[in-house]
Structure 1
Amino acid sequence: MAKVWCITGTSRGLGRVWALAALERGDSVVATARDVRSLDGLVQRFPGSVLPLALDVRDRAAAVAAVAAGAERFGRLDVVVNNAGYGLFGAVEELTEQQVRDQLETNLLGALWVTQAVLPVMRAQGHGHLVQVSSIGGVAGFALLGGYNCSKWALEGLSEALAQEVGPAGVHVTIVEPGPYSTDWGGDSAVWAPRNPAYDGLRAARRAAAARHVAVEPEATARAVLELVDMAEPPLRLFLGTYPYAIAERAYAERLATWRAGRALAATADGVARPAGAS
């Protein structure tokens, strides 16, 4: 049975790739973008299967309206992909207040508003799949990406709790964690903090490391995402590409080692347990 998708951030990048893949196999897509004109090509190629909507996910009321319009047009929403987002680059000390607020408004709160809007629809129809687009940067922290890491780590915690809340209603949640792809994430859509010379050496080292990595084309992710949404019991988390595995495995090994090394000190904070009802 063909699925009905709602994908935010479909003007380019991963969102565009996934919308196109869904449409090519006969699914329908509620496609959102800040500039709805960027969706003209999809509409012309797949007339009747695309509902193009202008949406700035930071606007909660607009997110509610977009979800309602999509559900009315197609009768249901099977898959909702919270993909809209961008990268914020800069050392933690360099980030401006407005840059951090804007990052969280888009990457975290934008996904929250869409999620809240769609849950009544999915609960009423008895099924649904929320795909929350995080990043390997939502699993491990990276120098000069602290603001971005903050938004994705928060999205992961939110989504993990969400999965426990809506699973009994037949709604699945998957946190998709891509590695680096050759999208516009680090290009025109990125935001850069004012530079402090104290971090210029670190910036140069990071640029050199990035230059050694060949990013994969985003089209390579389409098959995995299509198979993911077709699963009867999809996983809570899914890496896209093998690049994230070494990073995640190293990060978790280091965390476990740190926690274990501090176990004796941690135990000093247990205190004395009191029986229930004791004053």
Structure 2
Amino acid sequence: MSKTIFITGASRGFGRIWAEAFLERGDKVAATARNIETLNDLKEKYGDAVLPIQLNVDNRHQAFDAVNKAASHFGSLDVVINNAGYGLFGTIEEASEEEARQQIETNVFGLLWVTQAALPIMRKQGHGHIVQLSSVLGIFTLPVLGIYNASKFAVEGLSETLAQEVKGFGINVTLVEPNGFSTDWGGSSSIHSQSIEAYDGVKKAFNDGITDDAFGLPEATVPAILKLIDEKNPPLRYFLGKVGLPTAKEVYKARIAEWEQYADVATAAHGK
């Protein structure tokens, strides 16, 4: 059965690949991008099955207009995929105020505005699936991506809470957790803070630790994302790639061990 899907950031990367996969199998797609001309070829190929919408997710008013336009055009919204976002490369000290605020504005507030716009529609129809593109860096961290890490940790907390709040309305929420993939995310789509020489060693260690094998093939995610949106009871968290889950297991094992080390202190701090 075909679905009606709203996806942000459809001009390139995962958004583009997934939008095409949905259309190819017969779904209806409201595809958004800051530059709507990047969606012209989709419209030419898939005709009325695709609705291109210009959207800067930072603009709450635009986000609500875009979601409502899609729902009005297609008659319903089965799935909303918050894919729009980018990476800010730089240590915590290096990030300027503007860079830090803009990273949170897009990755967190942009996602929030689209989510808020979709919820009344999905509540009224009694079903829906909100898919938030998070990252393994919302579960554990890497240096040189601190503000990005922070944005994805925020998405994790927001979405886990949302899942509890809307389950009774028939709305599911899934956090998609990709590890690194060979998209343009680390290229022209990214922002780089002005360097401070003192962190050259940290950055060298970071770069030396990255291998080609750590990056997955974006096209290989298509079966996984199709399976996800077809699930009757989709999971809250959904890894993409072979790196994320093993690393998360190691990180959480170390965290629990550290917490247990101070368990007596924590209990005593309760006071009763």
**Same fold? TM cut 0.5:** yes
User: What displacement does 1:214 show?
Assistant: 5.1
The 10-residue stretch of structure 1 (230-239 or 199-208) with the greater mean CA deviation from structure 2: 199-208
Mapped partners of 2:217, 2:256: distance in 1: 34
TM-score by length of 2: 0.98
User: What displacement does 1:246 show?
Assistant: 1.6
Question: What are the residue-to-residue correspondences of 1:1-279 with 2, within 5 Å?
Answer: 1-213=1-213, 215-272=215-272
User: What displacement does 1:202 show?
Assistant: 1.4
The aligned amino acid for 1:45 is K
Mapped partners of 1:221, 1:104: distance in 2: 26
Which consecutive aligned stretches of 4+ in structure 1 deviate over 3 angstroms post-superposition? 211-214
Q: How many residues align?
A: 272
The aligned amino acid for 1:143 is P
3-state secondary structure, aligned to 2:209: helix
The aligned amino acid for 1:44 is E
Post-superposition CA distance 1:179-204 (Å, at most 9, x none): 11111110001011110111101111
Q: Which residue matches 1:276?
A: none
Question: What 5-or-longer segments of structure 2 have no aligned partner?
Answer: none
Please identify the structure whose Cα radius of gyration is greater: 1
Mapped partners of 2:46, 2:18: distance in 1: 14
Q: In the alignment, is the contact (CA less than 8 A) between 2:214 and 2:243 conserved in 1? A: no
User: What displacement does 1:208 show?
Assistant: 1.8
Identical residues among aligned pairs (%): 50
User: What displacement does 1:215 show?
Assistant: 2.2
The 10-residue stretch of structure 1 (124-133 or 258-267) with the greater mean CA deviation from structure 2: 258-267
3-state secondary structure, aligned to 1:5: strand
User: What displacement does 1:217 show?
Assistant: 2.0
User: What displacement does 1:50 show?
Assistant: 0.6
The aligned amino acid for 1:232 is K
User: What displacement does 1:268 show?
Assistant: 2.4
TM-score by length of 1: 0.96
Mapped partners of 2:71, 2:14: distance in 1: 23
- Could you say what the CA RMSD is over the residues aligned between the two structures, in angstroms? 0.9
User: What displacement does 1:212 show?
Assistant: 4.6
Q: Structure 1 residues 151, 117: CA separation in 2 closer, same or farther (over 3 Å shift)?
A: same
Mapped partners of 2:251, 2:181: distance in 1: 21
3-state secondary structure, aligned to 1:48: helix
Mapped partners of 2:89, 2:225: distance in 1: 27
Mapped partners of 1:61, 1:212: distance in 2: 41
Question: What 5-or-longer segments of structure 1 have no aligned partner?
Answer: 273-279
Post-superposition CA distance 1:70-92 (Å, at most 9, x none): 00110000000000000011111
Mapped partners of 1:206, 1:263: distance in 2: 33
